[in-house]
Amino acid sequence: MDLENCEYWFIAGSQDLYGEETLKQVASHAAIMTDDFNNEPSFPGRIILKPTAKSPSIIRGLFEEANASSSCAGIITWMHTFSPSKMWIQALAVNRKPVLHLHTQFNRDIPWASIDMDFMNLNQSAHGDREHGYIHTRMKLPRKVIAGYWQDKELRRRMGVWMRAAAAKQDGMNKTVLRLGDNMREVAVTEGDKVEAQIKMGWQVNTWGIGELAQRYAQVTAAKAEEFAEEYENTYELAAELKQNGSARCAMLEQAKIEIALKEMLEAENAGAFTTTFQDLHGLPQLPGLAAQRLMEQGYGFGAEGDWKQSMLTRCAKVMAAGLEGGVSFMEDYTYHLEKGREAALGAHMLEICPSIAEKKPRIEVHPLSIGGKNDPARMVFNAKAGPAVLATLVDLGSRFRMIVNEIETIKIENEMPLLPVARALWKPYPNLTDSAEAWILCGGTHHSVYTSALDAEYFRDWAQMCGIEFVLIDGSTRPNRLQDELRWSDAYYSHR
Ligand code: MN
């Protein structure tokens, strides 16, 4: 995944009133800032300086150009001088790109000794950005507002978060979730409105028959599967029975074939994510375990049991986290440790957890799966690395999508679990296990989620805002009763939109 090709258009606002001299300075300051932004290592993609926004026709032209550009992931606006906002209405009304309103000024300090009215007229974002903010608020437009000095580290960190969220939004506009089979029978929370998902998030959520995968799988040669097995051998640890001539090696080769066939299909359909379901594996020998883990590691989103919402969100987090430390995986809440003072949640899945979150080299093993009635599947087994992380999930409330994010602290797994051969993570959620669980359940959050140690809640908040969906945060200050009131207010807000 390469965010280098993403463009972020930088538009400095002004107006004709100030005369040529002032406008020249506006443009030259914006050019200096653009160059400096482009040397910022934490920014993905490139900042592209656009002509100064000084008339309604220029502004509308810029936004129409942005809409038509497949490389423009978002627009950064900054009012160096006053830029009357009625000039922006037509442009903002047609805009389809995420907006970052950067509230900064070129000079850091007030030049006490030399300041005069010319300086005041040129450097008045404190004035102009308020006018700019008003029109967004009046038009009920989503945007991120970041205030501060443009060279400040924290300001740039937050800009970078927004840029990555915008890249994920852009990625979703061009990608498909490839559903293999439908939702797990009778399960409610993994269902959802696929049409609304495309309207809000851009994703095309479409289905393909498992037979197509089975057919591709059957055509993968033994030699090709062996090639992959060698790569596995070089990348991961292998259980003794999986090594050359081992008794269970063929189970791993089956997963290699599934990986190859699935990847072919994903590429053919320009898919960024996929789902499987253990109830629909006709023609496949095993549930895709190792194969799903490997594809997640390569940047694909994954959702089990037909959970296309979490699959899409996993991909979204993979894009936001591209090049960052830490990992992203599909995850499931499994079981709790409820000892007073040492409460923790154990997350895992039947098989499909991404090795990008592993603490050390994963080990491939083959064991029976007590569900689905297929052959014993190969899977990677590991513990997740300790440290701060978040869980994010998407639910469909019928009238809208809600994203729920919980800040957690992943802890080291001190106990051996020899009879549980799956990848797993152990965490303490904020504010504590019981309040977190109560809050999550009051929100209607799923048992499935996206787990990431590479991102914090701000990324998801920015992305949710770009998509126009609800965002609920469960963190250190969450109180379930208070949150329940907020959810009621939120219901009122969304029912009046
Ligand atoms: Mn599941």
pLDDT of residue 1: 72
Q: What's the pLDDT score for residue 468?
A: 95
Q: 78: CA distance to ligand 1 center in Å?
A: 45
**SS3 category, 58:** helix
- pLDDT tens-place string over residues 304-335: 999 999 999 999 999 999 999 999 999 999 99
> Per residue in 81-106, pLDDT tens?
999 999 999 999 999 999 999 999 99
Per the listing, tokens 């809208």 go with: 400
Query: 3-class DSSP state for residue 148?
Result: coil
Angle made by CA atoms 267, 197, 142, in degrees to the nearest 5:
115
Mean pLDDT of 356-378: 91
| Cα 290 to ligand 1 centroid, rounded to whole Å | 16
Ligand 1 centroid distance, CA of 329 (Å):
13
How many angstroms is it from 330 CA to the middle of ligand 1? 9
Q: How far is the CA of 300 from the centre of ligand 1 (A)?
A: 17
Q: How confident is the model at residue 253 (pLDDT cuts 50, 70, 90)?
A: very high
Ligand 1 centroid distance, CA of 292 (Å): 13
H helix intervals, 307-405: 308-320
| Cα 335 to middle of ligand 1, angstroms | 13
Q: How confident is the model at residue 273 (pLDDT cuts 50, 70, 90)?
A: very high
Q: For residue 127, how many C-alpha atoms fall within 13 Å in the half-sphere facing its CB? A: 11
Q: How far does the centroid of ligand 1 lie from the alpha carbon of residue 413, in Å?
A: 22
In the predicted model, what is the mean pLDDT of the chain? Answer: 96
For the chain, percent of residues with pLDDT exceeding 90: 97
Does the pTM exceed 0.85? yes
Confidence of residue 43 (pLDDT cuts 50, 70, 90): very high
Instruction: Determine the distance separating the centroid of ligand 1 and the alpha carbon of 434, expressed in angstroms.
Output: 22
327 C-alpha vs ligand 1 centroid, how far in Å? 20
d(Cα 132, Cα 92) in Å, to the nearest integer?
11
pLDDT, position 248: 93
Residue 414 has a CB neighbour count (10 Å cut-off) of 6
Please say whether the beta carbons of 357 and 451 come within 8 A.
Answer: yes
Q: Say if CB 322 and CB 170 are below 8 A apart.
A: no
- DSSP type of residue 220: S
What is the 437 CA–ligand 1 centroid distance (Å)? 18
pLDDT of residue 388: 98
Mean pLDDT of 171-191: 96
pLDDT for the residue numbered 372: 73
pLDDT tens figures, 431-447: 999 999 999 999 999 99
CA 352 to ligand 1 center in whole angstroms: 9
Q: What is the pLDDT of residue 371?
A: 75
Q: Which of 3, 94, 80 is nearest to 49 (CA)?
A: 80
Tokens coding 120: 């005041």
The contacts of residue 80 (CB under 8 Å, 6+ apart) are 12, 13, 14, 26, 29, 30, 105, 106, 122, 123, 124, 125, 128
Question: 369: pLDDT confidence band, cut at 50, 70 and 90?
Answer: confident
Q: How far apart are CA 336 and CA 133, in angstroms?
A: 46
* Spacing, Cα 310 to ligand 1 middle (Å): 11
Which pLDDT value is given to residue 374? 84
Say how many Å lie between the CA of residue 446 and the centre of ligand 1.
10
How many angstroms separate the alpha carbon of residue 479 from the centre of ligand 1?
28
pLDDT attached to residue 244: 92
Q: What is the pLDDT of residue 93?
A: 98
Single-letter residue type at 17: L
State the distance from the centre of ligand 1 to the C-alpha of 448, rounded, in angstroms.
6
| Position 370 pLDDT exceeds 80 | no
Give me the long-range contacts of 113-122 (CB less than 8 A, separation at least 24).
Answer: 121/18, 121/22, 121/81, 122/18, 122/22, 122/25, 122/26, 122/80, 122/81
Number of H helices, E strands in the chain: 15, 19
Separation of CA 307 and ligand 1 centre (Å): 8
Coil/strand/helix, residue 223: helix
Q: Looking at the DSSP assignment, which residues form a beta bridge with residue 403? A: 394, 471
CA neighbor of 383 nearest in space, from 335, 340, 408, 420: 420
* Å from CA of 348 to ligand 1 middle: 9
The Cα 480–Cα 364 span in angstroms is 41
List, in sequence order, every beta strand (DSSP E) within 312-462.
328-337, 344-348, 363-366, 378-381, 387-396, 401-411, 424-429, 448-452
Distance in Å, CA 20 to ligand 1 centroid: 63
User: pLDDT tens digits, residue range 194-241?
Assistant: 999 999 999 999 999 999 999 999 999 999 999 999 999 999 999 999
Q: Across residues 104-116, what is the average pLDDT?
A: 97
**CA–CA separation, 205 vs 197, rounded Å?**
8
Ligand 1 midpoint to CA 91 (Å)? 44
Residue 429 has pLDDT above 90, yes or no: yes
* Spacing, Cα 191 to ligand 1 middle (Å): 13
Q: What percent of the chain has pLDDT over 70?
A: 100
* pLDDT of residue 497 exceeding 80: no
Cα 372 from Cα 289, distance rounded (Å): 13
Q: What's the CA-to-centroid distance between 416 and ligand 1, angstroms? A: 23
Q: How far is the CA of 199 from the centre of ligand 1 (A)?
A: 26
**Which residues, 6+ apart, have CB-to-CB distance to 121 below 8 Å?**
18, 22, 81
Ligand 1 centroid to 233 CA: how many Å?
Answer: 28
Cα(302) to ligand 1 centroid in Å equals 11
Report pLDDT for 49.
Answer: 98
- The CA distance from 222 to 216, in Å, is 13
Helix, strand, coil percentages, rounded to 5, for the chain: 40, 25, 35
Torsion angles phi and psi, residue 485, rounded to 5: -65, -45
* pLDDT confidence of residue 312: 97
How far, in Å, from the CA of 264 to the mean position of ligand 1?
A: 25
Q: From the CA of 185, how far away is ligand 1's center (Å)?
A: 12
* C-alpha 128 to ligand 1 mean position (Å): 51
Closest by CA position to 134, among listed 79, 80, 96: 79
Q: What average pLDDT does the segment 245-250 reach?
A: 94
